[in-house]
């Protein structure tokens, strides 16, 4: 029997070895020297509107407090551990200035933790931070969380559409209201600080975080950033600023995250300085107009220099020119990616302008090193004071010194507000307004009163799928409908509305039926993902099962409405062709019922809610249009930015070309890269065991112990004929961890080769890259036209091996087959 392992485990390892070495040679370890920094000209960056001048009284209070703090207390302020690795006692001891929970970080590690549990832990942290025994200063700790589409780590929260959908609403007032509701639900649970909004301008839709971006249109991003921050924090210079139930906002990730080469998450942005300023920085200008109090540094590099170490941008530009006077927080172990840094030591990032280290697990080591670096002068005391001043300033502005403990301030403990009908109504409105109608031939929508409606597709009754990543768990995986007590699936909404209009709805996820329906609504699309796990090489939506479902229904003479769930525009020409109507529904969140509000007519046949959504990202005509943005030369989308039909439009979409010749339809060149590359999954035989090694941010290695087998498998086999003909090789980074007692085989599909001697030669405990040409597996019997297992390792005796990075690479003819 096989078990499928999902790799949503945390953490992750910077395996420094992609793309080097020939067969079985040990990997070179010394990284190449850092490139010389690309020049930045701060004088070319205009100042941001700064609505909030420094308050001299507050600054004097900060001077006074700084004067009373010990060095240890100051260093504690700049360290941010995860709530899953510390106890309130640690906050008392180390006087941490802040804590965080990441995606899938819950109080007590209990996923079902209630809002009351969150609040109780927030109180405990707060009380520990306010303890003045032994002459300590009382400085309230703040707790940050990713409430990126509602307070989504907490069961029962109102979940809004992800940003890609909010962009399609083009409704800044509603954005503000969404910020307000999100803040209110955070406040109920005692959390003070939101790591949101993401103000990236995503330019390459292959980026796994494209859905966190409001738009490719920088103006929309700028306006939304401004409004979202007002919603979260309140309006600066009014009584509303940090009034009851508001939280601290964060504009992230500074700067250029949406413009990396190939849409690679944490990759390199090679735009000009002017593009960086005029495109990628625009969201920060917007957020600063509403006095955003925190900016998060980005994992990405600019011309090869990681932002966490980029002093010119973090300090000279952001603080100096733009005039940002709040906190610059680092991203999750983002500092360790700077050459010379580790999780536990990085004066460079601090000196470059990071005020708070986000260091989920390794806080103790980092605290000690940072303290030593201040003592030795590697970090100047003035720089430490500057960072702490900013942290104290934000806490004072947010009123936290005097507000009492979380359960006594804001909406702390007002649990009836959490996932309340009023909040859900806001989310439902957002769902309605975000839907973009791309096709509606012969007016198949709205669904008529009295219709018999078949509701099909794997997204129809899956609140997890409609919610996407950053939902309860980091990747949004492992969730069931029961995990969403205050939510409706798309099916729930359709059933209710169809019945109310005198019709009958039937749920059948595979589309089978007994009585022929009048119309079918098929809900399908991308499965949840977050961050780099969502990176793709192609924008082709490749789902043969869904496509044949559409075709089957149409062959039976049933008009088909596609409701497409996705975090980005994808090339879906075959699906458009086989749909009578096509709705881009993005990742709507908890209010699936908002879809029926628009799709289903009233009992009298009237439209209840018309389509309002307009594309905030250009929709591709060709599978090669991976970077497609208004203003590009030769801009030729299928549907341009701003497109969206209404019920008044009588357009018919003619048949679209579906040619993908020469383009790999699935992401066939990488199978495992820090995690299984979808659609591949790890499968393990019962006699074997596996664990994942994590460290850093970039990936996890699989540590496998046999006898038995482990493989990467998908039920959507790929055709590797071209690759095999082209003499590509399977490349696996391997580490032998034990002696070899029996026979070891490596297989692609059903072609298996004996790698016992090869593995025996590998140095124990060190990484090596092993390359074997696909042709070797073909010779051994693999049918390259249909490969469902591009990697299978089998050992008949005990053996311990680690692997990482499994991909196809250019091979050489000379390498003999094993
Ligand atoms: C994410 C966190 C998540 C963690 C899991 C990080 O990269 O940002 O939110 O919880 O990985 O390891
Ligand atoms: C992500 C951030 C997030 C942080 C904390 C990081 O991996 O890049 O967006 O705020 O984790 O979860």
User: For the residues 693-722, what does the mean pLDDT come to?
Assistant: 78
Report the pLDDT value the prediction gives residue 815, as an integer from 0 to 100. Answer: 66
Report the pLDDT value the prediction gives residue 518, as an integer from 0 to 100. Answer: 98
Report the pLDDT value the prediction gives residue 720, as an integer from 0 to 100. Answer: 80
Nearest to 587 by CA among 155, 257, 61, 148: 148
pLDDT band at 359 (very low <50, low <70, confident <90, very high): very high
Catalytic residue (choose from 212, 226, 331, 578): 331
- In percent, the amount of the chain with pLDDT more than 70 equals 92
Within 8 A by CB and 6+ apart from 58, the residues are 393, 396, 397
User: For the residues 296-307, what does the mean pLDDT come to?
Assistant: 96
- In percent, the amount of the chain with pLDDT more than 90 equals 82
Q: Which of 223-227, 245-249, 385-389, 785-789 has the lowest mean pLDDT?
A: 785-789
**433-471 burial, b if ≥16 CB within 10 A, otherwise e?**
bbbbbbbbbeebbbbbbebbbbbbbbbbbbbbbbbbbbb
Q: Give the residues across from 229 on adjacent strands.
A: none
User: For the residues 24-39, what does the mean pLDDT come to?
Assistant: 54
Q: Give the residues across from 800 on adjacent strands.
A: 705
pLDDT at residue 25 tops 80:
no
pLDDT band at 409 (very low <50, low <70, confident <90, very high): very high
Phi-psi category of residue 180: left, alpha or beta, with phi > 0 → left and psi -120 to 50 → alpha = alpha
First to last CA, the chain: 29
Instruction: Please tell me the pTM assigned to this model.
Output: 0.81
Give the residue whose CA is nearest to atom 4 of ligand 1: 10
Catalytic residue (choose from 90, 185, 204, 531): 531
pLDDT at residue 128 tops 90:
yes
Nearest to 324 by CA among 350, 353, 288: 288
Report the pLDDT value the prediction gives residue 661, as an integer from 0 to 100. Answer: 60
Nearest to 711 by CA among 668, 749, 660, 673: 749
The answer to whether the CB of 209 is under 6 A from ligand 2 is no
Q: How far is the CA of 115 from the centre of ligand 2 (A)?
A: 22
649 in catalytic set: no
Q: How far is the CA of 146 from the centre of ligand 2 (A)?
A: 7
- What is the atom index within ligand 2 of the atom nearest the CA of 195? 10
How would you list the strands of the sheet with 98-101, edge to edge?
98-101, 142-145, 193-194
Contact 138, 176 (CB under 8 A): no
| Helix 172-188 × helix 218-233 angle, to 10° | 40
Report the pLDDT value the prediction gives residue 685, as an integer from 0 to 100. Answer: 86
Nearest to 361 by CA among 332, 388, 387, 338: 332
Report the pLDDT value the prediction gives residue 19, as an integer from 0 to 100. Answer: 29
pLDDT at residue 14 tops 60:
no
The answer to whether the CB of 104 is under 6 A from ligand 1 is yes
Q: What's CA 364's distance to the chain center, in Å?
A: 27
User: For the residues 621-640, what does the mean pLDDT come to?
Assistant: 94
Neighbouring CB atoms inside 10 A of 545's CB total 12
pLDDT at residue 2 tops 70:
no
Torsion sign, CA atoms 789, 791, 796, 800: negative
Q: Which of 34-43, 270-279, 481-490 has the lowest mean pLDDT?
A: 34-43
pLDDT at residue 35 tops 60:
no
The answer to whether the CB of 308 is under 6 A from ligand 2 is no
Report the pLDDT value the prediction gives residue 351, as an integer from 0 to 100. Answer: 98
Ligand closest in space to the Cα of 469: 1
173-215 confidence digits (pLDDT tens): 999 999 999 999 999 999 999 999 999 999 999 999 999 999 9
In the three-class reduction of DSSP (H, G, I as helix; E, B as strand; rest coil), residue 600 is classed as strand
Q: Which of 127-141, 456-470, 799-813 has the lowest mean pLDDT?
A: 799-813
Longest CA–CA span in the chain (Å) reads: 80
Q: Which of 284-298, 464-478, 792-806 has the lowest mean pLDDT?
A: 792-806
Contact 303, 35 (CB under 8 A): yes
Contact 569, 205 (CB under 8 A): yes
Q: What's CA 290's distance to the chain center, in Å?
A: 25
Report the pLDDT value the prediction gives residue 717, as an integer from 0 to 100. Answer: 87
Q: Is beta strand 728-736 parallel, antiparallel or unpaired with respect to 768-773?
A: antiparallel
**738-748 burial, b if ≥16 CB within 10 A, otherwise e?**
eebeeebbbbb
- What is the atom index within ligand 1 of the atom nearest the CA of 694? 12
DSSP string spanning 315-355?
Answer: IIIIIIIT---SEEEPPTTGGGGSTT-BTTB-HHHHHHT--
Q: Give the residues across from 305 on adjacent strands.
A: 302
Nearest to 807 by CA among 786, 788, 790, 782: 790
Q: What is the mean pLDDT of the chain?
A: 92
Report the pLDDT value the prediction gives residue 287, as an integer from 0 to 100. Answer: 98
pLDDT at residue 535 tops 50:
yes
Nearest-Å Rg of the Cα atoms of the chain is: 27
CA angle 215, 670, 468 (to 5 degrees): 40
Report the pLDDT value the prediction gives residue 745, as an integer from 0 to 100. Answer: 96
User: For the residues 584-610, what does the mean pLDDT come to?
Assistant: 98
pLDDT band at 810 (very low <50, low <70, confident <90, very high): low
Which residue of 146, 162, 471, 474 sits with most ligand 2 atoms within 8 Å of its CB, as the best mutation to test the pocket?
146
> Residue 43 and residue 541: Cα distance in Å, rounded?
44
Q: Give the residues across from 442 on adjacent strands.
A: none
In the three-class reduction of DSSP (H, G, I as helix; E, B as strand; rest coil), residue 688 is classed as coil
Q: Which of 618-632, 705-719, 728-742, 803-817 has the lowest mean pLDDT?
A: 803-817
User: For the residues 219-245, what does the mean pLDDT come to?
Assistant: 98
Give the residue whose CA is nearest to atom 8 of ligand 2: 331
> Residue 142 and residue 232: Cα distance in Å, rounded?
15
531 in catalytic set: yes
Q: 45 or 817, which is more confident? A: 45
The answer to whether the CB of 103 is under 6 A from ligand 1 is yes
pLDDT at residue 118 tops 60:
yes
Report the pLDDT value the prediction gives residue 11, as an integer from 0 to 100. Answer: 28
> Residue 396 and residue 409: Cα distance in Å, rounded?
15
Report the pLDDT value the prediction gives residue 12, as an integer from 0 to 100. Answer: 28
Element (H, E) at 59: helix 56-68
pLDDT at residue 230 tops 70:
yes
The answer to whether the CB of 586 is under 6 A from ligand 2 is no
- What is the atom index within ligand 2 of the atom nearest the CA of 531? 8
Report the pLDDT value the prediction gives residue 23, as an integer from 0 to 100. Answer: 34
User: For the residues 426-447, what does the mean pLDDT come to?
Assistant: 98
User: For the residues 665-669, what does the mean pLDDT come to?
Assistant: 52
Nearest to 337 by CA among 375, 374, 377, 297: 297
pLDDT at residue 412 tops 80:
yes
DSSP string spanning 256-281?
Answer: TGGGBGGG-TT-EE---HHHIIIIIT
146-176 confidence digits (pLDDT tens): 999 999 999 999 999 999 999 999 999 999 9
Neighbouring CB atoms inside 10 A of 359's CB total 28
Contact 542, 526 (CB under 8 A): no
Report the pLDDT value the prediction gives residue 693, as an integer from 0 to 100. Answer: 76
The answer to whether the CB of 195 is under 6 A from ligand 1 is no
Which residue of 331, 469, 694, 698 sits with most ligand 2 atoms within 8 Å of its CB, as the best mutation to test the pocket?
331
Nearest to 610 by CA among 428, 488, 445: 445
Ligand closest in space to the Cα of 194: 2
Contact 182, 232 (CB under 8 A): yes
Q: Which of 153-167, 373-387, 679-693, 753-767 has the lowest mean pLDDT?
A: 679-693
DSSP string spanning 84-110?
Answer: TT--HHHHHHH--SEEEE-TT--GGG-
**What residue spans of 324-480 are helical by DSSP H?**
347-352, 363-376, 381-397, 421-434, 463-467
pLDDT at residue 5 tops 50:
no
CA angle 365, 329, 349 (to 5 degrees): 60
Torsions phi, psi for 399 (to 5 deg): 75, 20
In the three-class reduction of DSSP (H, G, I as helix; E, B as strand; rest coil), residue 173 is classed as helix
Element (H, E) at 306: strand 305-306
In the three-class reduction of DSSP (H, G, I as helix; E, B as strand; rest coil), residue 799 is classed as strand
Nearest to 517 by CA among 528, 504, 530, 527: 504
**496-505 burial, b if ≥16 CB within 10 A, otherwise e?**
ebbeebebeb
CA atoms within 13 A on the CB side of 444: 21
The answer to whether the CB of 165 is under 6 A from ligand 1 is no
pLDDT at residue 715 tops 90:
no
pLDDT at residue 424 tops 70:
yes
Element (H, E) at 736: strand 728-736
pLDDT band at 439 (very low <50, low <70, confident <90, very high): very high
Q: Is beta strand 701-713 parallel, antiparallel or unpaired with respect to 681-685?
A: antiparallel
Report the pLDDT value the prediction gives residue 699, as an integer from 0 to 100. Answer: 62
The answer to whether the CB of 100 is under 6 A from ligand 1 is no
Contact 711, 748 (CB under 8 A): no
Ligand closest in space to the Cα of 698: 1
**93-104 burial, b if ≥16 CB within 10 A, otherwise e?**
ebbbbbbbbbbb
The answer to whether the CB of 357 is under 6 A from ligand 2 is no
231 burial type by CB count under 10 A (0-12 exposed, 13-18 middle, 19+ buried): buried
Neighbouring CB atoms inside 10 A of 25's CB total 12
Q: How far is the CA of 11 from the centre of ligand 1 (A)?
A: 7
User: For the residues 571-575, what does the mean pLDDT come to?
Assistant: 97
pLDDT band at 4 (very low <50, low <70, confident <90, very high): very low
Q: How far is the CA of 161 from the centre of ligand 2 (A)?
A: 19
Ligand closest in space to the Cα of 674: 1
pLDDT at residue 266 tops 60:
yes
């Amino acid at each position: 029997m096989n078990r499928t392992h999902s790799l949503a485990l945390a953490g992750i390892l910077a395996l420094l070895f992609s793309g080097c070495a020939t067969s079985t040679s040990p990997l070179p370890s010394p990284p190449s020297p850092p490139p010389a920094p690309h020049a930045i000209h701060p004088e070319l960056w205009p100042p941001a509107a700064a609505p909030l001048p420094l308050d001299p009284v507050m600054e004097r209070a900060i001077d006074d407090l700084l004067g009373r703090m010990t060095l240890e207390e100051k260093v504690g302020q700049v360290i941010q551990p995860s709530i899953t690795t510390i106890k309130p006692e640690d906050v008392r001891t180390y006087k941490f200035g802040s804590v965080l929970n990441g995606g899938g970080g819950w109080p007590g590690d209990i996923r079902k933790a209630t809002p009351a549990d969150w609040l109780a832990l927030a109180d405990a942290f707060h009380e520990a931070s306010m303890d003045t025994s032994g002459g300590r200063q009382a400085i309230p700790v703040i707790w940050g969380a990713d409430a990126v589409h509602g307070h989504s780590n907490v069961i029962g929260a109102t979940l809004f559409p992800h940003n890609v959908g909010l962009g399609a609403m083009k409704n800044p007032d509603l954005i503000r209201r969404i910020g307000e509701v999100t803040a209110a639900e955070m406040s109920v649970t005692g959390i003070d600080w939101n790591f949101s909004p993401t103000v990236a301008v995503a330019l390459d839709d292959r980026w796994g975080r494209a859905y966190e971006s409001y738009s490719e249109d920088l103006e929309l991003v700028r306006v939304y950033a401004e409004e979202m921050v007002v919603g979260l924090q309140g309006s600066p210079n009014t009584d509303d600023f940090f009034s009851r139930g508001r939280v601290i906002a964060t504009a992230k990730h500074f700067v250029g995250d949406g413009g990396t080469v190939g849409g690679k998450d944490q990759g390199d942005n090679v735009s000009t300085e002017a593009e960086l300023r005029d495109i990628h920085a625009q969201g920060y200008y917007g957020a600063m107009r509403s006095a955003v109090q925190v900016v998060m540094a980005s994992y990405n590099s600019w011309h090869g220099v990681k932002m966490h170490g980029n002093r010119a941008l973090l300090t000279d530009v952001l603080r100096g020119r733009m005039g940002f006077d709040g906190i610059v927080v680092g991203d999750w172990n983002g500092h360790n990616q700077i050459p010379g840094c580790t999780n536990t030591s990085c004066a460079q990032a601090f000196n470059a302008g990071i005020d708070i280290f986000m260091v989920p697990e390794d806080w103790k080591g980092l605290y000690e090193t940072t303290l030593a670096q201040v003592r030795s002068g590697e970090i100047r005391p003035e720089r430490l004071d500057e960072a702490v001043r900013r942290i104290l300033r934000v806490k004072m502005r947010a009123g936290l010194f005097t507000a009492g403990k979380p359960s006594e301030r804001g909406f702390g403990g007002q649990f009836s507000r959490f996932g309340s009908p009023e909040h859900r109504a806001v989310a439902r409105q957002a769902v309605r307004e975000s839907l973009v109608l791309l096709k509606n031939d012969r007016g198949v929508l709205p669904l008529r009163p009295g219709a018999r409606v078949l509701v099909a597709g794997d997204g129809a009754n899956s609140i997890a799928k409609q919610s996407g990543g950053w939902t309860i768990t980091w990747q949004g995986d492992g969730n069931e409908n029961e995990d969403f007590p205050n939510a409706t699936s798309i099916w729930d909404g359709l059933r209710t509305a169809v019945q109310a209009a005198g019709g009958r709805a039937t749920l059948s996820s595979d589309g089978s039926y007994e009585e022929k329906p009048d119309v079918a609504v098929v809900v399908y699309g991308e499965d949840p993902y977050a961050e780099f796990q969502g990176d793709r090489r192609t924008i082709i939506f490749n789902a043969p099962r869904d496509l044949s479902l559409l075709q089957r229904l149409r062959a039976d003479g049933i008009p088909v409405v596609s409701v497409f769930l996705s975090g980005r525009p994808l090339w879906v020409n075959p699906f458009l062709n086989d749909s009578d109507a096509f709705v881009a529904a993005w990742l709507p969140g908890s209010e699936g019922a908002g879809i029926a509000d628009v799709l289903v007519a009233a009992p009298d046949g009237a439209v209840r809610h018309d389509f309002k959504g307009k594309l905030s990202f250009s929709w591709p005509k060709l599978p090669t249009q991976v970077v497609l943005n208004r203003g590009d030369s030769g801009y030729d989308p299928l549907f341009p930015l701003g497109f969206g039909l209404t019920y008044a439009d009588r357009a018919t979409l003619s048949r679209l070309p579906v040619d993908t010749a020469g383009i790999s339809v699935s992401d066939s060149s990488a199978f495992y890269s820090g995690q299984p590359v979808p659609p591949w999954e790890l499968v393990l035989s019962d006699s074997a065991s596996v664990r994942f090694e994590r460290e850093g941010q970039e990936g996890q290695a699989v540590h496998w112990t046999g006898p038995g087998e482990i493989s990467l498998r998908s039920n959507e086999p790929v055709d590797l004929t071209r690759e095999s003909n082209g003499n590509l090789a399977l490349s696996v980074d391997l580490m032998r961890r034990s002696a070899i007692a029996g026979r070891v085989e490596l297989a692609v599909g059903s072609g298996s080769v004996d790698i016992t001697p090869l593995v025996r030669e590998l140095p124990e405990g060190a990484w090596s890259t092993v390359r074997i040409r696909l042709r070797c597996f073909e010779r051994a019997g693999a049918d390259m036209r249909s490969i469902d297992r591009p990697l299978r390792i089998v050992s008949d005796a005990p053996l311990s091996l680690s692997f990482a990075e499994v991909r196809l690479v250019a091979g050489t003819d000379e390498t003999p087959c094993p």
